[in-house]
Structure 1
Amino acid sequence: MRLATKMLAGAAMASAMMATTAGAEVTLKVSHYLPSVHGIHTDFIVPWTEDITACTDGEVQFEIFPAGSQLGNVARQQEQVMAGVVDIANGLTGIPRGRFPRTSLIDMPFLTDDAGAATYALWELFPEYLAEEYQGVKVLALYAHNGGLLHTTGTKVETMEDMQGLRIRTPSPAVSEMLSALGADPQGLPPAEVYESLQRGVIDGTVFPWDPVKSFGLNEVLDYHLDLGAYTVSFFFVMNQRSYDGLSDKAKACVDQYSGDALVAKFGDWWDQWDAPGRADAEAAGHEISVLSDEQRAEWAEALQPMMASYLQSVKDQGVDNADEIYQAMKDTVAEYDAAHQ
């Protein structure tokens, strides 16, 4: 009896220790590459961490490393989270290039200019078509921004012919191919280096949605803006799988509650909000803003058909045999979203 009592007591102590460990406070490191004034930081990541801290009753705390910090390099977000240097990372799928060829198909020209539609397509297609690109991490969200514009300094662009020879900063392989096909010279640069490169005349312009134009202060060194709506760019928000697995059941449930479907549904409205100040600043500075007509958009899209076929082939050459199928599924899913939101 005394042995049995000791065994039960030992089991109870072990259970209590496990419960204490499971409920112990943990601090997770979150990294991203944007300045702390950007909406991704202020409206998305900070509130997301606060919601989870509240949901876990303080069990999970967070330390955030934005641009300018030791962990804020855009090119290192994936490797940092894979290695466990950080627990959670937000990054661009196109930097460094070639790591997410399936996901980056959403960046193809004229597929969509709507963040809500692109984000919906990415999340809907993730389980079947994109998941193998994210082994070793728990995907909390995939999303994309609104249609990008061409912003230039010194040279006004209104036609395809005006693109010839311009050195334009590019965010992803698909956009690089698009710029090359239009006669420009794409320059791969992290967002944080664009201001100085424009100021020094190293580049003639950049492609961005409006929001980073505001957050990186680019209206100070820009003159013209052409609303192409020709492309979008995709992002990942992921967690190291071991970090997630080490959380208590309660903490996992809280992470799940504020991620996935509940999170991706917000990006369309967020991007609309984030874009507005950048355009307002350009207008206040007296910049000239042009918009492609429907006829021009059709002309540009037609001119880019060979480039699109070539880019799809390059994705197949990287081992994505069903690139055509994924691309078609993206187009179909975007159309489904558009029909539902008319």
Structure 2
Amino acid sequence: MKLKATALVLAALAMAGCTEDVATAPSAASGEKVVLKVSHFWPATAMAQKKVLEPWCQTIEQQSQGQMVCQFYPAMQLGGTPQQLFDQVMDGVADIVFSLPGNNAGRFPSMEVMELPFLTRDAESSSRVAWQIYEEFGQKDFANLKPLAFNVHDRGQFHNNVRPITKIEDLKGLKLRAPTRLTNKMLEAYGATPVSLPLPSLTDSLSKGVVDGYVLPWEVVPTLKLHEMTKYHSEINEPDPVLYSTLFTIAMNKQRYNSLPDNLKKIIDDNSGADFSASIGKAWDDELAPARAHAVDNGNAINTIDSAEVKRFEEAAKKVESDWISEMNAKGYDGQAMVNRAKELVAAAAK
């Protein structure tokens, strides 16, 4: 009898353990309050939280009549590094993350097309394109996630402490911090020395002369008080295409999404996709002028690289594109088709 009872207890425990393994995400019955853990690497005061994530969360809370709410974990408060955010959301540590696919080089290759030099225009229209590229080419790469939006930032520009940049030759020998793999390759093509640094380390590295400068959109500059320690800013402006872009995504744990009742899934779906992506890009575009004003007010030198010289920059960067196409082809993607389609969509969206 004792043996039989022990066997029954062990069987029950085994079944309980099996149930835990299968239930990879908590379910939400209709009417039950759902708290979504939202994680990112920016400070809580950053634009990404204040003007993107918080308004989005307010919308889904209102539309769900308070049934679905967000709990924010800025500045990696759930632990780990920015490079681990996608693992954290897939493992259920977070329900939603806002991060850069480029932080995991080679993991999401299809969307890297949006980071090619001189591909994008304004952030709003190009972010809408990014969502369409995902729908046409990127769903396999993100099969284990539920993407909610893709976006690019406002125009990436040159910033340094050595000299104004008016032509390619001015970049020769400069040590510049670059944010992405493709931006590193672009800087190498111009004769600069790319330096890979985590963004929070840039301020200290610039003050100590570890780097001469950096390539960044204006929006980031005052956030890190970089305008206070930078002498020269060199811009490529409209109607010329953008020097470079970095791609971001807001992604949700797929099991968490699937566990939601249909009415809450619909709210998530109604507030995801191309329109949400474009609105994030617009938030970045809107920050360009006020962020740039900090450098103007500080008396920094700002120059525009003329269109004739921009053509030389574009020509020198073509190798970055051709090499990327070859890399994608080797991975089983049609790299040329992806580039062609991205350029076609960008041109149409910018009209």
Q: Given the two structures, how large is their TM-score scaled by the length of structure 2?
A: 0.86
Q: Deviations over 1:305-336 (max 9, x none)?
A: 2232123222333x143011001100000111
| Contact preservation (8 Å) 1:139, 1:237 | yes
| Contact preservation (8 Å) 1:111, 1:331 | yes
The residue type paired with residue 334 of structure 2 is N
Residues 231 and 113 (structure 1 numbering): CA distance in 2 closer, same or farther, change over 3 Å?
farther
- Aligned with residue 328 of structure 1, among 327, 333, 340: 340
Q: Deviations over 1:80-100 (max 9, x none)?
A: 111111010111121132222
1:134 aligns with 2:142: yes
Residues 67 and 125 (structure 1 numbering): CA distance in 2 closer, same or farther, change over 3 Å?
same
In the other structure, the counterpart of 1:40 is 48
Q: Take 2:283 and 2:128, find their aligned partners in 1: how far apart are those partners?
A: 14
5 Å matches for 1:69-108?
Answer: 69-71=77-79, 73-108=81-116
The residue type paired with residue 22 of structure 1 is S
Q: 1:20 offset after TM fit, Å?
A: 8.3
- Aligned with residue 307 of structure 1, among 306, 316, 320: 320
In the other structure, the counterpart of 1:192 is 200
Could you list the runs of 5+ residues in structure 1 that have no partner in the other structure? 1-18
The residue type paired with residue 259 of structure 1 is S
Partner secondary structure for residue 265 of structure 1: helix
Residues 191 and 202 (structure 1 numbering): CA distance in 2 closer, same or farther, change over 3 Å?
same
In the other structure, the counterpart of 1:60 is 68
Farther-moved stretch of structure 1 (42-51 vs 112-121): 112-121
Which 4+ runs in 1 deviate beyond 6 A?
Answer: none
| Contact preservation (8 Å) 1:113, 1:232 | no
The residue type paired with residue 316 of structure 2 is A
In the other structure, the counterpart of 1:14 is none
Farther-moved stretch of structure 1 (266-275 vs 236-245): 266-275
Residues 86 and 146 (structure 1 numbering): CA distance in 2 closer, same or farther, change over 3 Å?
same
Q: Given the two structures, how large is their TM-score scaled by the length of structure 1?
A: 0.88
Could you list the runs of 5+ residues in structure 2 that have no partner in the other structure? 1-26, 237-241
1:267 aligns with 2:280: yes
5 Å matches for 1:12-23?
Answer: 21-23=29-31
Q: 1:147 offset after TM fit, Å?
A: 2.0
| Contact preservation (8 Å) 1:155, 1:204 | no
In the other structure, the counterpart of 1:8 is none
Partner secondary structure for residue 146 of structure 1: coil
1:253 aligns with 2:257: no
Q: 1:72 offset after TM fit, Å?
A: 7.5
Q: Deviations over 1:64-119 (max 9, x none)?
A: 11225344832122111111110101111211322222101111111123212321
Q: CA RMSD in A?
A: 1.8
Farther-moved stretch of structure 1 (91-100 vs 238-247): 91-100
Q: Deviations over 1:212-249 (max 9, x none)?
A: 11222211221111113311111111101011011122
The residue type paired with residue 231 of structure 1 is Y
Q: Take 2:125 and 2:275, find their aligned partners in 1: how far apart are those partners?
A: 15
5 Å matches for 1:142-161?
Answer: 142-161=150-169
Partner secondary structure for residue 47 of structure 1: helix
